[in-house]
Chain A
Amino acid sequence: MKITLDITRRESPDAEPYILSAAFETVTGSETAAYALTSLNADPERRDVNGKPFPPIRWESSCLQKKCGACAMVICGKPMLACDARLEAVARGGRVTLEPLKKFPVIADLAVDREPMFAALAEMKQWLEEHGEVRPKETDRAFDASKCLQCGCCLEVCPNFCTGSAFYGTAAAVPASRLMAVTNDAERAALYRKHVYNGCGKSLACRNICPAGIDIDSLLVNSNAAAVWKRRRKGGNPWTL
């Protein structure tokens, strides 16, 4: 199937963005946006739809199998992993738009600077102050929370998140719940309230977006219970309060 890729490009952070349209032919149907970008960049003869040569497209990837979060971008309006976006499945009228994540500064083309996300984790003191094993009944929660790719898709859809604010969003809340599966001290609870709970509008826009399949709802409910509601978990769902 012939797919036209509409790629938002910028040579540098301050340069004017423009759209590059390039054709890509799928053969097996399993080709992803990541595959199309790799193939275009590997082809020294690459041309846009008007037959004009163009320089390689900057984007980030690594594992090509949904496990590293490097390739997150906005595909047909939705934040996704490029290696998980099957072109034939996401195309609208034979076209696929690829844009950089908008919540982070652009480096070039589809590559963005996600360092603010990591800086937030440092602010959140995202490490185990006292070492210890995961409590046996928390193993599943710790596993789920440890899966976070730090891709940033959840931040893209969050109405309350912007870089520079004290609210760090789901990408900080999920890792925090890993630590809470081991210990839950007052300082952690306070950091959680300050950087997650207080700023969160509970709209749950981040609900079904996570490419790692993390059950964000249930992690947030649990962490809120631990950090805000002091473990009165049976007393109803705090999200509804």
Chain B
Amino acid sequence: MTLALSDKQRNSFAEISNVVYPGGYNHPPSSGLDIKNAPLDHVLRARNELVVPLIKILNQYVTEPNTFLSQLEDHDFKLIMIIISASYLSIPQVKESLEYNGQQAMSLGRSGFGAEELVFELMQQPKRYRDV
């Protein structure tokens, strides 16, 4: 299913992605990351139901990506932004630049929950609920 995208559609995807993520704030530009192949396939494999709507959107693409993005219907804009962003953010160089390595399991510290002294002060305050 993910292979259903033509070269033309993949190139359109790359052109649009390159203006969405031109690089900045230490994040690499999409243009150097081959986003239209493995990263895009990865996303479409995880979310197969997005292939058909993506193709429909890409088939409307003619030339200028900024104009194209600003003229998309809300729903289509959201959808292409999910696919471009998920593709871009799945790339190892990007993750590295973000210092983000996924949602990690961490053990709970045993040194208390934080701000304990304030909680103990609050406990001494008069009750503030309205009883009836």
Asked whether A and B interact, the reply is no
Interface set of A (CB-CB < 8 Å, partner B): none
